[in-house]
Amino acid sequence: MGKLFAVVVTVITIVSVAFFVMHTWWMPIDISTTGPAIDHQLEETMTGSGLLFLGGQLLLGLFVWQSSNKNPARKIKTFPGGANPLVAAAIILVGIEVLTLTFVGSKAWGAVNLAPPAENSLHIDVQAEQFAFYFRYAGPDGQFGGIHPDKIDDGNGNYFGLDPANDVAARDDVVVGSLVVPVNRPILLTLHSKDVGHSFYVPVLRIQQDFVPGLLIPVHFTATQTGKFEIVCTQLCGLGHYNMKAYIEVMSEPDYETWLKGQEGQ
């Protein structure tokens, strides 16, 4: 029974680790400037914890295998050194790992959430609602119109509750259902929610941020490759949560300008 346990644990461990190492199912490409630091942090953690995982499971298997030896003459042994070296080793090794991860990781975190947005960021307003994302551009005047929730009229496409009749700045705001951005330009999003909590997750940009009703939350990134990728909601928001998504289209600067002019013309 002991040998069976050791074999099963070993097989499970090796198979599990294999899938991790082979990246059979893995993160998508990273097209952001802050992503590489996060990926690096993940790889480091994967290596460190992978070793701990392997070590722990295989040691357990080994000890169980040895302990199942039924020789009656065998004496019971205590782990060499007893508890104290183990405790000390755990504190020191795990402590070092903890400190390293915190130190390095806080830089990756800070780059995303603490660093201020770049001065020339393209500012886009994002609204989440049950069950869609909408994106608003300031238009040629460079000003966003005010938002009036009581004026929201989805049937007429007034998702944000703009008041163009009385608000000059709102007249040229562009509202679309896809996030279209130029490549290699710093983007600043301001997130707000119309109803309940939602979340903004773009795996390829390595960003995720909750929408919190009542708060305006900034998110900034720079996309480094063109293409069309998915934005999905990750905060349970009701029955349509699984279906709540939008696309982010990263275009070359000229293509973006063409697209924007086309939108503004409407």
Among 167, 210, 249, 255, binds other proteins (CB under 8 A): 210
State which residue, 135 or 160, has the beta carbon closest to other proteins.
Answer: 160
Q: What separation, in Å, do the N-terminal and C-terminal C-alpha atoms of the chain show?
A: 74
Shortest CB 238 distance to other proteins, Å: 4
State which residue, 75 or 254, has the beta carbon closest to other proteins.
Answer: 75
Q: DSSP code of 157?
A: T
Binding footprint of other proteins, residue count (CB under 8 A): 97
Tokens for 19, please give them: 């899938």
What is the torsion angle, in degrees rounded to the nearest 10, for the CA atoms of residue 80, residue 83, residue 89 and residue 94?
140
> How many Cβ atoms from other residues are within 10 Å of residue 186's Cβ?
17
263 belongs to the binding site for other proteins (CB under 8 A) = no
**CA 18 from chain center: how many Å?**
24
130 belongs to the binding site for other proteins (CB under 8 A) = yes
Tokens for 190, please give them: 């301001």
207 belongs to the binding site for other proteins (CB under 8 A) = yes
18 belongs to the binding site for other proteins (CB under 8 A) = no
State which residue, 26 or 266, has the beta carbon closest to other proteins.
Answer: 26
What part of residues 213-232 is at the interface with other proteins (CB under 8 A)? 213-215, 217, 230, 232
Q: DSSP code of 244?
A: -
Shortest CB 187 distance to other proteins, Å: 16
> How many Cβ atoms from other residues are within 10 Å of residue 99's Cβ?
10
156 belongs to the binding site for other proteins (CB under 8 A) = no
